[in-house]
Amino acid sequence: MFRLDREHWRELSPLLDQALDLDAAARNALLADLERRRPELALVLARLLSGHDQLLGSGFLETSLRLDDAPTLAGHTVGPYTLEAPLGMGGMGTVWRARRSDGRFEGAVAVKLLNLALLGEHGDERFQREGTLLARLTHDHIARLLDAGVTSTGQPYLVLELVDGTRIDRFADDQRLDPTGRLELFLQVLDAVAHAHANLVIHRDLKPSNILVGAKGQVKLLDFGIARLLEENVPAQATLTGPAAHALTPEYAAPEQARGEPVTTATDVYALGVLLHLLLTGRHPTGEGCRTPADQLRALLERDAVRASDAVAASPAEEAAERAARRGSTPDRLRRLYGGDVDNLLAKALDKYPGRRYPSVTAFTEDVRRFLNHEPLSVRGQAWSYRAAKFVRRHRWPVAAGVIAFAMLAAGLVIVNRQRQIAESRFRQLRHLSQQVFELDARIDDLPGSATARQELVAMSLEYLEGLARDARGNLEVLQEVSDGYWRVARIQGVPVALSLGNLAKAEESLKKADELVHTILAVRPRDRRALARSAAVAGDRMMVASSERRDTDALAHAQRAVGRMEALLNEAPLSRSERDDAFAVYGNAANLCVNLHRYDEAIRYARRQVELAKLEPPAPRAESYGLSVIANALRSQGELDRALETIREARKALDRDTTLSNDTRRMVSRYPLLLREAYILGKDRGISLDRPDEAAVLLREAFEMHEAGVRRDPNDMTSRERVGTTGLELGDILRWRDPHGALAVYDIALARLAENRNSVKARRDRALLLARSSYALRRLERRAEARGRIDDALAILKETQDYPADRVSLESPIYSVLQARADQHVDEGKLAEAVQQYKDLLERVMVGRPDVEHDLRDAYGLSLLYQDFARVHRAAGTPDEADALDARRLALWRQWNQTRPNNPFVRRQLAALDAGTTSTR
Amino acid sequence: MEETKPPGDPQQIAAMVERAEAGDSAARDALFASLYNELHNLAESHIRRSSGQLTMGATTLLHEAYLDLNSRSHVAFPDRLRFLKYASRAMRGLVIDYVRTKRAQKRGGEITFIPISEENVSTVAAPSSIEALGPVLDELGQLDPALAELVDLKFFCGFSFGEIATMRGVSERTVQRDWAKARVLLHDALQNGPLSGSGL
């Protein structure tokens, strides 16, 4: 379309970035230079730049689209007005350009259709009464309220003077007004507000979008007193949770509004202070960096306003300079200009105590005029050190509750008025809280550097839950909700099943509380379905936490408890669909944990349960496939390779039955883990396998090439990169003994793909493994120096990841492979004494880790390979007696296995290999 | 490297996301389709509730869809960012379809769009044809997926630069610059017509 392909665009994009920042002359120079090097790109760039210039001020894509049916209202009549075209949309309703239908008034007007939800009960009557009062407010700088009414269909509307203008802050920026120009503009605003106050009308919602400036610099204030029209006749403290809270704009609200205290003229003074601060500095006095209403409210209550003289220089410097330039100045000059009088004047207007602010807008106006005339102000040396935080400290709890309540409102919730049945409302609040706390956290999560706020929110949620738990007094429904609340908070804190704060200890604490509460319920109602299901889920989460913390015993205990609860639930009645999904998670995770803990029989039991459940109607082929693949894995680990192969192929068949996976590519992607497992069973190099490496290589190559193609297709495809790494390692390991050229090519692609991936510890360890394993292929190709270099690189990587040096080395760890590769390199270089020493050392470190060679086949086979390799080195070094001793230990090991597990085909194969004196792996 | 997660995880959306991110275009399509349905159903039920009018903005709609999905824990999204990444694309489709339907209903009548972020500003012209934007955006998605996503978030979903910057962990300035680039590319394509990447 752009006559560009991705390659070209990659080249062109930074050039366009650069050019957009340049003036015309510099652009031409850039184009001329590009013309010489890449004429075809220069052509496109020139066209794009001229397109960009055309676009300036065109409004192309400037306004966001809305899914809005409002245009269908065009032509409708509202009272005596006919709606013509929509003008805008705000928190309170939609605004339309309209004309009188009866021809009495020629000019166009603005009709504001208020959201019905904002009008309280008995609102109609008062709405019209107050509207009439407001209509009397006439001032050059106030948009007139011409009419107010409610249509026959109950739609409240306001008819306002139609104002054509720009938001005040944008106007000042567009005109690049200097501080004096901005103060003069502000004086017009003060004049209008003072007039309204003299008529006993408070604005309550002063903010830049309510203040427009016409082409001639004439200021017009909109929506005077409208917030008041919408207020229900309710006690002051209900404001936060009452309908009027919808109309509150937290960015411009005064602290007393946030606290739900009565609104006075001082409230408008505060909003004027915010506006002036914004006009002069381009930044918000308290809310800078706050993106959520909850944060803004917290900042409003707890944070002192930033001094204007500090705000102008706030980093980043580039932006500060830009803001100053829009004011025809530099950050330094503005800082000097605002330091002193402007700071003091703003401090007086922005005091958190209404009683300490300017007593009237007139007094505020007076000081602004004095500043403009370079006269001394009425305020001097306002104590900036005064900490409103004292107030917050004294009223910590109500403030915290307020923040929560507000945050919940912001999340689109309705909180029941406290005046009504308190118990019921609290119960609902709690339900909302526990359901919404995820979402709240997600909002905060988006903010950089807000970890503290996020943690505080969680802390407050917990405090809240504690209070409600105390109030519950044995009400089981409430206890269940509280338990759910803790469970949800825990998932935010750090259950490793989703994105979280990553604090496992805190998550465990909350889970424990959830567990105790649900336990209380089960003690009274042992067969309560919901409690049983939740108890299983909580225990399942505790298992995940414990397993992440490597508390194996605890993890196992939780897994067994989760399974127990699930069994109890299964005994009650057939599971619902969602309960069955919960059961899949519990059994699947428990089975996986047991495989990792080498408790294969238990793993198979749980996985079989999952398979059984998955076969019930409606069938869940993917859960079945998962269960089967865990079973296959457990069987392979026990040397039951034929059964493992049969089971993994069944798992593949189950997956093919999944009708949601119709597409071939998709099936391939989901089949990947199964392919990999099947390859392991068939012929994992130096692993428990059927020793059919050729067949394994076919599967691995298929997976390797598929994912490599995926990476080439989509450069952002990180999963495919990782899979190229994994399959490349396994494939290379098989190939290295017979086709070192081919193996090296595969290893190198895998290395390159992993290097492109994000630098996770896992990716680094995988790269170390690949480097070490590829040294075998390099040595076979007589490229010894390169082989040595790669081993050194691998060790360096493992040093960074703190895997090396290590006192204890486990048989399947990357460091084991790397250290063995180093020893084998020495053998190859003829440094046999060193090699023997290194093997001895490696064996010792392995034994420190106490591999479970008596019960665990993987450990046994790993150690057997180590004995075998070490024996080979001894023979090469001319110490055959030592080699024989190692062979004897190996024989003893397998004989013992043959006694405890007679007829295990894998064990028998090891014994046969020993008898024949051959090696089974190379 | 031995252990990898086998399939069969009941969390369907998470799995779909994973497959989509593994480059599986069919999974991506399925994901868009299900998000489209989710958004569509929500919008329709809202219209029914509020006597034939859709008064909620795109951001609210997305927000509700997210809450709704996450309350059904087994279709939960791995995270909010990824939800927005896919849902914003679905929202584009929804908006364009609504425009198309409305245009059909009004038999060619002029459609006006109103700004979501500002209050009481003068009427703003919409692109001559929102529908024409669809295919052009698809092509932009081929060329530079991040830019197309930015248009979805900003233009179709009504997110502010600040919000998008936070979402993406970049500075607001970067977002604005990308926005300028996206605009200029789309404008160019609309002016000069799609030329199917046949070289320069």
Element holding A98 (H helix, E strand) = strand A93-100
- How many CB pairs below 8 A link A and B? 303
Chain A, nearest residue to B9 by Cα: A623
- What gap in Å lies between CA B128 and CA B131, rounded to an integer? 9
Query: Both B14 and B104 in a single domain?
Result: yes
Q: Report the DSSP beta bridge partners of residue A85.
A: A97
Chain B, nearest residue to A437 by Cα: B67
* Chain A residues near residue B169 by CB distance under 8 angstroms: 448
Decide if A412 and B187 are in contact by the 8 Å CB cutoff: no
Least confident of A200-204, A438-442, A586-590, A757-761: A438-442
- The alpha helices in A38-178, defined as continuous H runs, are 39-55, 123-135, 168-174
* Chain A residues near residue B67 by CB distance under 8 angstroms: 411-412, 436, 439
* Chain B residues near residue A625 by CB distance under 8 angstroms: 6-8
Mean pLDDT of A455-459: 60
**Secondary-structure breakdown of chain A: helix, strand, coil percentages, each rounded to the nearest 5:** 65, 5, 30
- What gap in Å lies between CA A846 and CA A396, rounded to an integer? 56
Least confident of A716-720, A783-787, A858-862: A716-720
Write the pLDDT tens digit of every residue in A256-291.
777 666 677 888 899 999 999 999 998 888 766 555
CB A773 within 8 A of CB A760: no
- Give the pLDDT of residue A869: 96
Element holding A14 (H helix, E strand) = helix A6-20
CB A890 within 8 A of CB A920: no
Whether chain B has a CB inside 8 Å of the CB on A41: the answer is yes
Quickly name the fold that domain A574-662 has: 1.25.40
Count of other CB atoms within 10 angstroms of residue A293: 21
Whether chain B has a CB inside 8 Å of the CB on A121: the answer is no
Average pLDDT for chain A = 79
Chain B, nearest residue to A64 by Cα: B155
Whether chain B has a CB inside 8 Å of the CB on A584: the answer is yes
Helix and strand numbers, DSSP H then E, in chain B? 8, 0
Q: Is residue A667 pLDDT above 70, yes or no?
A: no
Decide if B7 and A627 are in contact by the 8 Å CB cutoff: no
- What gap in Å lies between CA A151 and CA A79, rounded to an integer? 6
CB A583 within 8 A of CB A535: no
Decide if B22 and A676 are in contact by the 8 Å CB cutoff: no
Report the SS3 class of residue A77. strand
Mean pLDDT of A293-300: 59
Q: Which of B88, B111, B134 is the last residue of a domain?
A: B111
In whole angstroms, what separates CA A916 from the centre of its chain? 59
Domain ranges of chain A: 6-55, 182-194+237-386, 391-571, 574-662
- Give the pLDDT of residue A302: 62
CB A629 within 8 A of CB A673: yes
Domain count, chain B: 2
For residue A674, what are the CA distances in angstroms to A28, A612, A645, A656? 58, 20, 11, 12
Write the pLDDT tens digit of every residue in A726-763.
999 999 999 999 999 999 999 999 999 988 876 667 78
Quickly name the fold that domain A182-194+237-386 has: Transferase(Phosphotransferase); domain 1 (1.10.510)
The model's pTM: 0.47
Q: Is residue A168 pLDDT above 90, yes or no?
A: yes
* Chain A residues near residue B191 by CB distance under 8 angstroms: 51
Q: Which two tokens stand for residue A420?
A: 């009504």
Query: Both B16 and B103 in a single domain?
Result: yes
The alpha-carbon gap from B86 to the nearest alpha carbon of chain A, in Å, equals 15
List, by residue number, the catalytic residues of A: 205
For the complex shown, is ipTM > 0.90? no
Query: Both B28 and B101 in a single domain?
Result: yes
The parent domain of residue B179 ranges over 116-194
- What gap in Å lies between CA A651 and CA A647, rounded to an integer? 6
Query: Both B79 and B160 in a single domain?
Result: no
For A:401-440, CB contacts with B below 8 A are 411-412, 435-436, 438-439
Mean pLDDT of A55-71: 57
Write the pLDDT tens digit of every residue in A307-366.
888 888 876 788 888 889 889 888 888 988 888 888 888 988 998 887 788 888 888 998
* Chain B residues near residue A51 by CB distance under 8 angstroms: 184, 187-188, 191
Of A59, A439, A655, the CB nearest to B67: A439
- Give the pLDDT of residue B49: 59
Query: Both B188 and B132 in a single domain?
Result: yes
Q: Considering chain A, what percentage of its residues have pLDDT values greater than 90? A: 33
Domain A391-571 in this protein, CATH class? mainly alpha
Q: A98 vs B55, which has greater pLDDT? A: A98
Q: Which two tokens stand for residue A95?
A: 């605004």
Q: Which two tokens stand for residue A578?
A: 């969602």
* Chain A residues near residue B112 by CB distance under 8 angstroms: 71, 85-86
User: A679 CB contacts (<8 Å, ≥6 apart)?
Assistant: A696, A697, A699, A700, A703, A730
Query: Both B188 and B120 in a single domain?
Result: yes
Mean pLDDT of A545-559: 89
- Give the pLDDT of residue A234: 33
Backbone angle region of A758, left / alpha / beta, with phi > 0 → left and psi within -120 to 50 → alpha:
beta
Is B1 part of any domain?
Answer: no
- What gap in Å lies between CA A202 and CA A337, rounded to an integer? 32
Q: Which of B111, B142, B162 is the last residue of a domain?
A: B111
Decide if A64 and B158 are in contact by the 8 Å CB cutoff: yes
Q: Which of B94, B111, B128 is the last residue of a domain?
A: B111
Report the SS3 class of residue B133. helix
Decide if A222 and B120 are in contact by the 8 Å CB cutoff: yes
The alpha-carbon gap from A264 to the nearest alpha carbon of chain B, in Å, equals 25
Decide if B114 and A63 are in contact by the 8 Å CB cutoff: yes
Q: B97 vs A210, which has greater pLDDT? A: A210
For residue A319, what are the CA distances in angstroms to A280, B19, B173? 15, 41, 9
CATH code, B133: 1.10.10.10
CA dihedral B136, B141, B144, B145 (to 10 degrees): 150
User: Running DSSP on this structure, what letter comes out for residue A219?
Assistant: E
Mean pLDDT of B146-156: 87
Task: With CA atoms as reference, report the closest residue to A837 among A846, A827, A829, A828.
Answer: A827
Query: Both B20 and B42 in a single domain?
Result: yes
Single-letter residue type at A662: S
Is B140 part of any domain?
Answer: yes
On the question of a common fold for A391-571 and A574-662, the answer reads: yes
Query: Both B44 and B66 in a single domain?
Result: yes
